[in-house]
């Protein structure tokens, strides 16, 4: 039997509407923070956040491998967008923000580690000479890329697969050896399927405006260089990005929000004057019914589909069609004395090269805080699997470590034995943004908008990166607040 529990309304928050946030990943936490005025000082609602798992953070996860604190999920945030930095500062992590020590990465292709070319936009070069110098492309691949400057215009319509567009302009090799591994690092997907408009809008603008992609990228990069912005492109957090969810949760609690872990939501219902949410756990574990004026749904798309199946079947069907990619991260800890020097921040591996790993990050080179915390250790990680290739996640830990070590030996000459390891499987880790994704999201949001006091947010909608998820949480918070204001008028 369910028990109905009114949510406590204490102190100054008593007269505010009550919003239930479902999902305690970074999007849900950002929504809760916004509603409690943590970002801008304006309290908009009383907040109860319900998280299914025993911890907050979702894909942000702090861990420890061989006595060294590391990120076992996301590890870096785009700093060219303001949202992640703003939120980190608002919850007291401003001083802890740290850019990578080195951004120099390599590509393991055609039998060796080769420098990542400079001056490109998601792998599309702005300078063929610079690309030629890296040896990433074969002579034939380079000759084909050069045809971009003379080929007639590529008609792309409203949208096109990133790979399809780049292959038409510069040839398949640029897609296989540059675009695929770079896009793979963000989506773990396939360049031909991923939407140019959703994933690389800057390149879509170039494709719509210019005949030559190379010239368009060159001009865009030259314009960016004229506007010298000393801010680094990415930032980390001293101790790991995984600290951010805990800091946001603490700030939310301190601001009067109620946050619960181990509380999966099983059902969502509309009532005459608001919403009820039924949890799977609660008093005596029979489940609990909570009431609210509005709901922010900050869960992965399949969960949102399930919760909206009766309320908004059209939106639920669209949500159910959003596909996810899974991957495994293998973190290896070495005694530094056992290793020779390793170059830069790590390397990407084009899938076409047929290796087991898709990338390796030399974390102790990349993050100064990690090097400082454990100067006699060296931590690196590899990733395996991408959309449609998730079978690799079913291999046991020992096999994933062995495959990683074999590739690290061949790519970077690492023969030492790690003294500790951790394998983290992220099944359904990253939503895919195929051609048509923005239109699908628009249909989902239009359907959700017919249910006043409901907003969806998270990686499935307007960007998978942490700043995009934070922005989406804020957008959802604003949307439900507006609904409540207009509903009260």
Pick the closer one to ligand FAD by CB: 70 or 416. 70
Pick the closer one to ligand FAD by CB: 290 or 339. 290
Does residue 299 belong to the site contacting ligand FAD (CB under 6 A)? Answer: yes
Does residue 50 belong to the site contacting ligand FAD (CB under 6 A)? Answer: yes
Q: 358, 50, 419, 343: which is closest to 189 by C-alpha?
A: 358
Helices (H), 396-465: 397-412, 437-449
Whole-angstrom distance, CA of residue 99 vs CA of residue 235: 4
Does residue 148 belong to the site contacting ligand FAD (CB under 6 A)? Answer: no
Where on the phi/psi map is residue 106: left (φ > 0), alpha (ψ -120 to 50), or beta? beta
Pick the closer one to ligand FAD by CB: 212 or 387. 387
Does residue 356 belong to the site contacting ligand FAD (CB under 6 A)? Answer: no
By CB under 6 A, what part of segment 64-103 binds ligand FAD? 73-77
Candidates 26-34, 101-109, 370-378, 408-416: pick the segment binding ligand FAD (CB under 6 A): 26-34
Whole-angstrom distance, CA of residue 67 vs CA of residue 374: 9
Does residue 329 belong to the site contacting ligand FAD (CB under 6 A)? Answer: yes
Closest approach of ligand FAD to the CB of residue 138, in Å? 31
Residues in contact with ligand FAD, counted by CB under 6 A, come to a total of: 36
Closest approach of ligand FAD to the CB of residue 9, in Å? 22
Candidates 116-124, 333-341, 368-376, 465-473: pick the segment binding ligand FAD (CB under 6 A): 465-473
Which of 444, 469, 471, 479 touches ligand FAD (CB under 6 A)?
Answer: 469
Which of 69, 115, 264, 388 touches ligand FAD (CB under 6 A)?
Answer: 264
Pick the closer one to ligand FAD by CB: 51 or 176. 51
Whole-angstrom distance, CA of residue 92 vs CA of residue 84: 12
- Residues 6 or more apart whose Cβ sits within 8 Å of residue 224: none
Does residue 464 belong to the site contacting ligand FAD (CB under 6 A)? Answer: yes
Closest approach of ligand FAD to the CB of residue 164, in Å? 24
Does residue 298 belong to the site contacting ligand FAD (CB under 6 A)? Answer: yes
Helix H or strand E encompassing 112: strand 112-115
Closest approach of ligand FAD to the CB of residue 215, in Å? 30
Q: At what angle do helices 83-90 and 466-488 cross, to 10 degrees?
A: 80
Closest approach of ligand FAD to the CB of residue 32, in Å? 11
Which of 19, 21, 23, 105 touches ligand FAD (CB under 6 A)?
Answer: 23
Pick the closer one to ligand FAD by CB: 164 or 180. 180
Whole-angstrom distance, CA of residue 254 vs CA of residue 239: 22
Closest approach of ligand FAD to the CB of residue 422, in Å? 13
Does residue 265 belong to the site contacting ligand FAD (CB under 6 A)? Answer: yes
Pick the closer one to ligand FAD by CB: 27 or 373. 27
Whole-angstrom distance, CA of residue 169 vs CA of residue 122: 14
Please compute, for residue 310, the number of CA atoms within 13 A of its CA located in the half-sphere on the CB side. 5
Closest approach of ligand FAD to the CB of residue 266, in Å? 7
**Residues across the chain:** 489
Whole-angstrom distance, CA of residue 185 vs CA of residue 359: 8
Where on the phi/psi map is residue 38: left (φ > 0), alpha (ψ -120 to 50), or beta? alpha
Pick the closer one to ligand FAD by CB: 278 or 451. 278
Q: How far apart are the first and last CA of the chain?
A: 37
Which of 34, 36, 44, 59 touches ligand FAD (CB under 6 A)?
Answer: 59
Q: 448, 483, 450: which is closest to 315 by C-alpha?
A: 448
- In three-state secondary structure terms, 381 is strand
* Residues 339 and 414: beta-carbon distance below 8 Å: yes
DSSP secondary structure of 308-369? HTTT-HHHHHHHHT--EEEEEEEEEEEEGGG-----TTEEE--GGG--SEEEEE-HHHH-HH
Pick the closer one to ligand FAD by CB: 52 or 206. 52
Eight-state DSSP code of residue 463: -
Closest approach of ligand FAD to the CB of residue 148, in Å? 30
Interface mask toward ligand FAD for 180-199; x: CB under 6 A: --------------------
Binding residues vs ligand FAD (CB under 6 A): 22-28, 50-53, 58-60, 73-77, 264-265, 298-300, 303, 327, 329, 426, 429-430, 458-459, 464-466, 469
């Amino acid at each position: 039997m369910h028990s109905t529990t009114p949510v406590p309304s204490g102190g100054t928050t008593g007269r505010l509407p009550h919003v239930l946030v479902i999902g305690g990943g970074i999007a849900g936490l950002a929504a809760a923070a916004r509603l409690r005025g943590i970002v801008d000082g304006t309290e908009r609602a009383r907040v109860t956040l319900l998280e299914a798992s025993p911890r907050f953070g979702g894909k942000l996860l702090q861990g420890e491998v061989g006595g060294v604190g590391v990120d076992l999920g996301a590890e870096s945030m785009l700093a060219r967008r303001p949202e992640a930095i703003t939120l980190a500062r608002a919850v007291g992590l401003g001083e802890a923000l740290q850019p990578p020590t080195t951004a120099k990465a390599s590509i393991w292709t055609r039998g060796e580690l080769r420098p990542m070319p400079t001056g490109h936009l998601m792998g599309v070069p702005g300078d063929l000479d610079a690309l030629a110098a890296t040896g990433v492309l074969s002579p034939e691949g380079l000759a084909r890329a050069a045809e971009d400057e003379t080929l007639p215009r590529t008609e792309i319509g409203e949208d096109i697969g990133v790979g399809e567009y780049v292959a038409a302009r510069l040839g398949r090799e640029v897609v296989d050896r540059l675009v695929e591994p770079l896009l793979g690092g963000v989506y773990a997907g396939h360049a031909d399927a991923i939407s140019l408009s959703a994933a690389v809008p800057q390149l879509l603008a170039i494709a719509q405006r210019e005949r030559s992609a190379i010239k368009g990228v060159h001009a865009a990069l030259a314009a960016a260089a004229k506007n010298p912005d000393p801010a680094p492109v990415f930032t980390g957090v001293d101790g790991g990005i995984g600290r951010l969810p805990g800091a946001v949760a603490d700030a939310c609690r301190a601001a009067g929000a109620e946050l619960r872990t181990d509380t999966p939501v099983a059902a969502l219902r509309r009532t005459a004057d608001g919403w009820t949410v039924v949890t799977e756990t609660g008093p005596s574990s029979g489940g609990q019914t909570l009431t609210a004026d509005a709901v922010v749904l900050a869960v992965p798309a399949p969960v949102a589909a399930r919760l909206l199946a009766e309320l908004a079947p059209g939106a639920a069907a669209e949500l159910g069609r959003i596909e996810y990619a899974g991957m495994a991260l293998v973190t290896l800890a070495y005694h530094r004395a056992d290793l020779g020097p390793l170059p830069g921040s790590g390397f990407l591996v084009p899938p076409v090269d047929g290796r087991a790993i898709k990338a390796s990050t030399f974390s102790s080179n990349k993050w100064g805080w990690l090097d400082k915390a454990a100067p006699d250790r060296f931590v690196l990680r590899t990733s395996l699997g991408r959309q449609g290739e998730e079978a690799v996640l079913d291999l046991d830990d020992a096999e994933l470590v062995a495959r990683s070590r074999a590739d690290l030996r061949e790519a970077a000459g690492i023969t030492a034995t790690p003294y500790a390891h951790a394998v983290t499987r992220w099944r359904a880790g990253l939503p895919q943004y195929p051609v048509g994704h923005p239109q699908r999201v628009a249909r989902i949001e239009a359907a959700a908008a017919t249910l006043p006091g409901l907003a969806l947010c998270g990686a499935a909608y307007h960007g998978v990166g942490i700043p995009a998820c934070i922005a989406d949480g804020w957008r959802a918070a604003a949307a439900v607040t507006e609904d409540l204001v207009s509903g009260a008028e």
